[in-house]
Amino acid sequence: MIEFTGVSKVYPNGTRALNDINLKIEEGEFVAVIGLSGAGKSTLLRLINQLIPATSGTVTFDGTDVTSAGGKELRNIRRQIGMIFQGFNIVKRASVLTNVLSGRVAYHPTWKTILGLFPEEDKQIAYRALQRVDILEKVHSRASDLSGGQQQRVAIARALAQEPRLMLADEPVASLDPITTIQVMDYLKKINEEDGITTIANLHHVDLALKYSSRVVGVREGKIVYDVKIKDIDKKTFLADLEKVYGRAIHHDEMLGEG
Amino acid sequence: MDKIVVPKPRNLRRNAVVLSVVFLIVGSAVFAGFNPIEIIENFSKGKRLLGRMFLPPDWSYSAKVISPLLETIRMAIVGTFWGALTALPVAVLAAGNFLKNPWISKPVRLILNVFRTIPAMVLASLFVAVYGIGPFSGVVALSIFTFGLISKLTYESIEAIDFGQVEALMSLGADKPNILRYAIMPQILPQFMSYTLYGFEVNVRAAAVLGYVGAGGIGQTFEHNLAWRNFDRVGVIIVISFVVVLIIDFVSSHIRKRLV
Ligand SMILES: Nc1ncnc2c1ncn2[C@@H]1O[C@H](COP(=O)(O)OP(=O)(O)O)[C@@H](O)[C@H]1O
Ligand SMILES: [Mg+2]
């Protein structure tokens, strides 16, 4: 579904964030990307929907080269890719419904969505999405009135409203407490399993990666240094393998402590 | 116990700044021929004038003040409306983080800065020369003045938004108009409305003096009475204008506080 071929990213200030990445992700996988802060995880994710352009190499989505796509073509690719963020990035001054409906804008002519003219069918899609994450009762609340965990669920609902084929999650639980963390991860997992939506999540906590993903990819200094399916993980060498990713023994705070 | 000796802070730079500021103020005063003693010397003259204006004001003239005062407020409203309406789209063009095209934002900003350096009075005299004496010239002047004021404040607000919300809309395939509608407008609209109210407050005060150059409103009545040395009427105009401006400022700033 996703394929990176020889992808490098150098930011305008000269930072080489990714270096010659080759990576293939199959339909239906739940990939956890782990690594130190600054390793290049966000960069990797943002190259898939072209929030940032690649410096060299190609990224394909279902065989379409996203790195050379622009305008309408790129927007049509993006609408199939949901993204959730550490900071939620929902529109705080808008209602929950408006936020979720905005996930539909790329499916309609601009003049209609600007006027807020969404078909009834879209509203049903939005309600269903909110129901999926158990927050339908907040549909008319102002987004800023919700707690962090609730805001992240609205963000997931907005992504679901896109009817996406791929879900990108950039540290989706890094701003949440342990209990809401489990809730949000559970929703992501459920969506991945029930709808078959391929999911790629950057995670700070190694045990979350182990618990929820089907495959762990380790990034260090812009390179992929670890890439193993959960079912193939060798418990005996796992901690030593993690040292390859982190360059040191795993810290206590990189484990959530849920076992 | 040993006494701890800490070196004195080096305030060289601060002293230099203070010294130059004092020098600038004193220098400017001398250059402008400003002399505090002169104020005191002319005090009795001023006192006599104040007496003729306010002891007592010609209250019978009050009714005649209402109509030009309403005209002043109408000028301020219409000027604020057009200024704000045109400022919003231009502010979007001037903001560096929306179109991300410095070939557009930089020149637009340059033009805005030029607009902002022209005082409302100068604009008004200009338009009186073009469109003739009357409130229309005042409204055009106020519109342009408001446009300069609000567009600058608004584009700065746009540049200070939470860009994460914009990125989220980009990530789901929104085009620029939708990003504007769903990520930027909700963030800046309360501020924009607050700036518009502020513009209105400023405009009421500006409109009140614009008449002095013939651009309509209470200022024209003021100038007329001053020319005829009807000081007791001038007193009434000042008192009533003062009260009205005060009320408008109070109400407007109260609403503004609740907006943002
Ligand atoms: N917009 C940017 N401009 C310049 N350097 C950046 C930018 N974004 C990230 N970087 C740098 O690129 C590297 C990888 O960053 P990132 O992908 O955010 O890492 P991670 O998500 O793993 O913490 C870091 O060194 C970071 O400082
Ligand atoms: Mg990151």
B129: part of which helix (H) or strand (E)? helix B120-131
The verdict on B188 touching A (C-beta cutoff 8 Å) is no
Looking at chain B, how many residues does it have?
260
User: What are the strands, taking DSSP E only, across chain B?
Assistant: none
The DSSP output letter for A146 is S
Q: How far is A107 from A75, CA to CA, in rounded Å? A: 10
Q: What is the ipTM of this complex?
A: 0.92
Q: Do B173 and A75 touch (CB under 8 A)?
A: yes
Confidence (pLDDT) at A259: 40
The verdict on B187 touching A (C-beta cutoff 8 Å) is yes
Q: Give the count of Cβ contacts less than 8 A between chain A and B.
A: 84
Residue of B nearest to A82 (CA): B172
A171: CA distance to ligand 2 center in Å? 7
A43: CA distance to ligand 2 center in Å? 7
Q: Residue-wise over A151-171: b if at least 16 C-beta within 10 A, else e?
A: bbbbbbbbbbbbbbbbbbbbb
A83: CA distance to ligand 2 center in Å? 13
Confidence (pLDDT) at B212: 81
Looking at chain A, how many residues does it have?
259
Is residue B214 within 8 Å of residue B137, measured between CB atoms?
Answer: yes
Paired sense of beta strands A2-10 and A16-25, if any? antiparallel
Confidence (pLDDT) at A255: 65
> Taking CB atoms and an 8 Å cutoff, what residues of chain B touch A114?
177-178, 181
Closest CA to A85 of A22, A34, A156, A145: A156
Q: How far is B185 from B180, CA to CA, in rounded Å? A: 6
Q: Which CATH architecture has domain B58-259?
A: Orthogonal Bundle (1.10)
Low-confidence residues in chain A, pLDDT < 50: 258-259
Is residue A143 within 8 Å of residue A95, measured between CB atoms?
Answer: yes
Q: Where do the domains of chain B lie?
A: 58-259
Q: What is the pLDDT of residues B212-260, one digit of tens each?
A: 887 888 888 888 888 888 888 888 888 888 999 899 999 998 998 888 7
Residue with tokens 């103020």: B25
- Coil, helix or strand at residue A251: coil
Tell me the nearest-neighbour CA distance from A52 into chain B, angstroms.
10
Q: How far is A132 from A187, CA to CA, in rounded Å? A: 8
Q: Where do the domains of chain A lie?
A: 90-163
Tell me the nearest-neighbour CA distance from A241 into chain B, angstroms.
33
Q: Do A91 and B178 touch (CB under 8 A)?
A: no
Is residue A250 within 8 Å of residue A243, measured between CB atoms?
Answer: yes
Residues lining ligand 1, Cβ inside 6 A: A 11, 13, 15, 17, 35, 37-43
Tokens of A251: 């810290």
- Coil, helix or strand at residue A249: coil
Confidence (pLDDT) at B92: 94
Residue of A nearest to B163 (CA): A89
Is residue A108 within 8 Å of residue A118, measured between CB atoms?
Answer: yes
B86: part of which helix (H) or strand (E)? helix B62-94
Confidence (pLDDT) at A12: 95
List per-residue pLDDT tens for chain B, 260 residues long.
788 888 777 777 778 888 888 888 888 878 777 777 777 777 777 787 788 877 787 888 888 888 889 988 999 999 999 999 999 999 999 998 888 888 999 999 999 988 888 888 888 888 888 888 888 888 999 999 999 999 999 999 999 999 999 999 999 999 999 999 999 999 999 999 999 999 999 999 888 888 888 788 888 888 888 888 888 888 888 888 899 989 999 999 899 888 87
> Considering the entire predicted model, what is its pTM?
0.84
Q: How far is A72 from A81, CA to CA, in rounded Å? A: 15
Is residue A96 within 8 Å of residue A147, measured between CB atoms?
Answer: no
